Amino acid sequence: MSLDQKTLNEEKRELIRKIKWLLFLRVVILTFFLGSTALFHFFKGGDTGIFRSLQAPLIAAYVISISSALILPWIRGLVFFAHAQIDFDVLLITGIVFITGDIESPFPFLYNLAVINSAILLFYGGAFVTAGFSSLCYAGLLLWGNYRWSGVLVPTSSQLLMDLMLNIPTFFIIASLSGFLARKVFEAERLLIKKQKEYLDLEALKEALLQGVGSGVAITDNKGHINYFNAPAQALTSVEEGAVKGRKLSDIFPGLAYNFDGSQESRRIIVNDFPFTDSQGHNKHLRLTLAPLSDPAEKAIGFVSIFEDITKQKELEEKIRLEAEMRKARERELTKDKSDESPSSFRFGGVVGQGGGVDKIYRLVEKVAATDTSVLITGDSGTGKELVARAIHFNGPRRDRPFVAVNCGAIPENLIESELFGHVRGAFTGAVSDHDGLFKQADGGSIFLDEVGELPLHLQVKLLRVLQERSFTPVGGSKQVKVDVRVISASNKDLRKEMEKGRFREDLFYRLNVVQMTLPPLRNRKEDIPSLANYFIQKFARSLNKKVEEISSEALMCLMNYSFPGNIRELENIIEHAVAVTNKNILTDEDLPPQIKGISIAEEVKLFERTAPGGADVFFNKGMSLDEELSTHEKCLLLGALKRSGGVQKRAAELLGINYRSFRHRLEKYGLLEMKNHQLEEEGAAE
């Protein structure tokens, strides 16, 4: 369809709309007149001639108006039809004026309404034609009236002449003004419609552009409140637009470092990379470019944010970085192997890495190794406390003397004093000969007291005496035994809190804590994972006689994304597992244990539903409490460990990864402390 044809159609639709309004207005006026005359007749009574005279033309006008409205959609000559409707109005008004007293009628002003309607429908031309037709009708009506009253056709009354001179020019003045205003209103409407169409086209173009780009787009006000969020943005965040509208952008992206405070600093363009977890629990890395928006007067009106998923790019960068780290780690190991051949080299015996403050530990070990100062090593389980203790010993003047390591939490409470300080024959049942304790065995060297916080209070007193007097009395003995021992202790507990609770002596704490070293957990030194992984690969490749040389970047990425609650000990276990099961010369993610391959919370729930006996519904349908359910599982695990260890409680504790004392406490809790092997079989079957 051509542009001219489209314009004609629009003008036709507009004229039809105006004619409908004309017909509606006519019906309203007719109703008013009919109602007015009926009320006047009802309340005043008297002559009904006028009412009867008006009734027929008004009803006829009703019928014509309704018929015109019905046939309007099928009319071809709309302009002629519009003229006809206006002319009918003029004739109708003339009839009303005639019936209501011609010369004396109060309704000549209705001609002005007809002129205005004509201007609205047909602009200047229609208005002037109607003004002329109205003038003829009105003048003819007055002359006919004058003839009826005076018998003379030529008007002689000054009043009659004044009516003609006032009303007829008024018709043309109103035609001129209303035609002008109608044209202006029409042009304004057309311009408004055009602008609205342009605006809608621009909005549609903007929407198409914003929805069509691959990047997410968010538009905010000056305070950072979101008022637009496109489809890619919704896909990236797994959040629908309705859920984010009105919220602050920083609420959706907590990692976004930007202040929406209206300051000059906040009116600059920024590019911000940050980690993001969507509503489905998927971890991503986003890059957000945020720019201020201003109106033509340079007034700030908001911000536009464009963000894209750069997770794959970051993974590639991380892969490249990890591969570089692995190369450096292999080079360091080669250099270390060569340097260790020198007897004067400083040996750290498995202490690997530089990150998370480990370099400070190296420097501190070098400083304290040459002294006999007591050292307290703290940190989570599995962070390598014994390795650091060995490094202190083997790099000090006692390196050629014994290094004795003891886990205070793994020895039964009734035996720990004898283990540490020895006993004489006959000291207790079963003491058939004298026994040198661990302190005596470490004479001239170092003793490492791991989990020192597990020592009973009465033994803490005895240990304090050893530190002060360098002597002790064996169990059942009467003579003091002198020893020259350096004491290195370790604990994964906060001994200050243990002191506050009365479970650890304050004076002993300060004796042990002359120099304190705190080992960082592996999750705080992930940059050392490549070096540690490479070290353990070489270690287990030698011990297991495997030709494993390195780890793939995918497997290393899995390790980097894992939280390592068991720290270095857990990493060592994972690498040993991988080296043991692989048949290749490079470890891949397929060789890693299943729990290392990070899965989302939702996937963990699904995994539980698949693997738990009967799924989660079984637990909820039992009506049991969580404590009861956990107690049942704990008892099963204790029995299973005892059964697998052949009833050897110390070995069972090691299988469960807990200390011996804690294991015995749990056995006592469930009445399993004195169980024999055959009872284990029966109890295990019952469980």
3-class secondary structure, 87: helix
- Claim to verify: residue 622 and residue 659 sit in the same structural domain: yes
201-205, 431-435, 463-467 — most confident range: 463-467
Mean pLDDT across 150-165: 66
CATH number at residue 369: 3.40.50.300
Q: Is residue 87 scored above 50 in pLDDT?
A: yes
601 pLDDT tier (thresholds 50, 70, 90): very low
Same domain, 91 and 174: yes
Average pLDDT over residues 587-607: 66
* Neighbouring residues of 481: CB distance < 8 A, sequence distance ≥ 6: 421, 422, 440, 471, 472, 473, 474
Residue 376 reports pLDDT greater than 90: yes
Q: What is the pLDDT, as a whole number, of residue 344?
A: 38
Which of these, 216, 229, 230, 220, lies nearest to 260 by C-alpha position? 220
Pairing of strands 486-491, 446-450: parallel
293 with 403, same domain: the answer is no
Provide the pLDDT confidence category of residue 193 given band limits of 50, 70 and 90: confident
Average pLDDT over residues 652-679: 73
Considering the domain boundaries, does residue 202 fall inside one?
no
Total domains in the fold of the chain: 4
Q: From 457, 448, 329, 458, select the one nearest 385 (Cα to Cα).
A: 448
Q: Does residue 150 share a domain with residue 29?
A: yes
Cβ 194 vs Cβ 187: under 8 Å: no
Query: Which of 127-131, 194-198, 297-301, 477-481 tops mean pLDDT?
Result: 127-131
120 assigned to some structural domain: yes
Burial of 462 (0-12, 13-18, 19+ CB in 10 A): middle
- CATH code (residue 281): 3.30.450.20
Q: What is the pLDDT of residue 150?
A: 64
Q: Same structural domain for residues 10 and 152?
A: yes
In the structure encoding, which two tokens stand for residue 108, read together?
């000549």
Q: Which of 65, 58, 9 is nearest to 32 (CA)?
A: 58
Placement of tokens 């637990």 in the chain: 619
Confidence bin at 437 (pLDDT 50/70/90): confident
Under a CB-based contact definition with an 8 Å cutoff, are residues 486 and 537 in contact?
no
Residue 369 main-chain phi, psi, to 5 deg: -60, -35
53 inside domain: yes
What average pLDDT does range 647-660 have in this prediction?
78
Instruction: Report how far residue 20's alpha carbon sits from residue 36's, in angstroms, rounded to the nearest whole number.
Output: 24
What are the distances in angstroms from CA 513 to CA 13, 276, 374?
95, 42, 7
For residue 339, being part of any structural domain is answered with no
pLDDT given for residue 153 in this prediction:
58
* Residue 212 reports pLDDT greater than 70: no
Whether residue 167 sits in one domain with residue 20: yes
Q: Is residue 82 part of a domain?
A: yes
The DSSP output letter for 564 is -
Would strands 515-518 and 446-450 be described as parallel, antiparallel, or unpaired?
Answer: unpaired
- Say how far apart CA 476 and CA 437 lie, in whole Å: 13
* CB-CB contact of 69 with 26 (8 Å): no
Residue 390 pLDDT more than 50? yes
pLDDT at 515: 92
In a shared domain, residues 104 and 186: yes
Q: What is the pLDDT of residue 408?
A: 87
Residue 612 pLDDT > 70: no
pTM, 2 dp? 0.48
Last residue of some domain: 157, 192, 227? 192
Two structure tokens written together for 449? 């007291």
Q: Which helix (H) or strand (E) holds 378?
A: strand 375-378
pLDDT of residue 341: 38
Check residue 188 and give left, alpha or beta (phi > 0: left; psi -120 to 50: alpha). Answer: alpha
Token pair listed for 293? 């928006």
Of 470, 492, 519, the domain-final residue: 519
Say yes or no: 287 and 363 in one domain. no
Record the tokens describing residue 397, joined without a space: 């003047």
**Integer Cα distance of 59 and 422 in angstroms:** 129
Residue 349 tokens read as 């015996």
Question: Is the pLDDT score of 80 beyond 70?
Answer: yes
- What lies within 8 Å, CB to CB, of 224 at 6+ separation is 248, 249, 250, 258, 260, 303
pLDDT at 322 over 80: no
pLDDT at residue 614 above 60?
no
Whole-angstrom Cα Rg for the chain: 50
Residues 362 and 507 placed together within one structural domain of the fold: yes
Q: For residues 304-317, give the mean pLDDT.
A: 81
Whether residue 440 lies inside any domain: the answer is yes
Residue 28, classified by CB atoms within 10 Å of its CB into exposed (0-12), middle (13-18) or buried (19+), is exposed
Question: Residue 327 falls within a domain, yes or no?
Answer: no
For 260, the token pair is: 């929406």
Q: Quote the mean pLDDT of the chain.
A: 77
Locate 58 and state its tokens.
């008004």
Domain span including residue 39: 3-192
State the average pLDDT over residues 257-276. Answer: 67
Residues 398 and 265 reside in one and the same domain: no
| 672 has a pLDDT exceeding 70 | yes
What is the pLDDT averaged over residues 379-390? Answer: 88
CA–CA dist 583, 585 (Å, integer): 7
- Pair 353, 383: CB distance under 8 Å: no
User: What digits encode the pLDDT tens for the residues 8-52?
Assistant: 566 677 777 777 777 787 778 777 777 776 776 666 655 555 566
Write a three-state SS string for 36-89: HHHHHHHHHCCCCHHHHHHHHHHHHHHHHHHHHHHHHHHCCCHHHHHHHHHHHH
Q: Six-digit token pair at 218?
A: 């968010």
Stretch 438-459: mean pLDDT = 90
Contact criterion met (CB below 8 Å) for 221 and 262: no
Does one domain contain both 618 and 661? Answer: yes
Final residue of a structural domain among 519, 554, 586: 519
pLDDT of residue 602: 45
Closest CA to 410 of 638, 642, 670, 655: 655
CATH code of residue 636: 1.10.10.60
The answer to whether position 586 is within a domain reads: no
C-alpha closest to that of 482 among 443, 522, 526 = 443
Is the model more confident about 352 or about 592?
Answer: 592
Cα(307)–Cα(256) distance, integer angstroms: 11
**Are 139 and 27 in a shared domain?**
yes
Q: What is the pLDDT of residue 506?
A: 92
Joined tokens for residue 469: 């007097």
Mean predicted confidence (pLDDT) in 144-158: 65
**Helix, strand and coil in the chain, % to nearest 5:** 60, 10, 30
3-state secondary structure 124-177: HHHHHHHHHHHHHHHHHHHHHHHHHHHCCCCCCCHHHHHHHHHHHHHHHHHHHH
Strands 486-491 and 375-378 turn out to be: parallel
Q: Pick from 326, 317, 316, 328: which is nearest to 551 by CA?
A: 326
Question: What proportion of the chain, given as a percentage, has pLDDT over 90?
Answer: 8
- Complete edge-to-edge strand list for the sheet that includes strand 300-309: 226-229, 216-220, 300-309, 283-294, 270-277
**Which has the closest alpha carbon to 129: 118, 140, 138?**
118
Helix axes 3-44, 78-99, angle to 10 degrees: 20
Identify the pLDDT of residue 245.
82
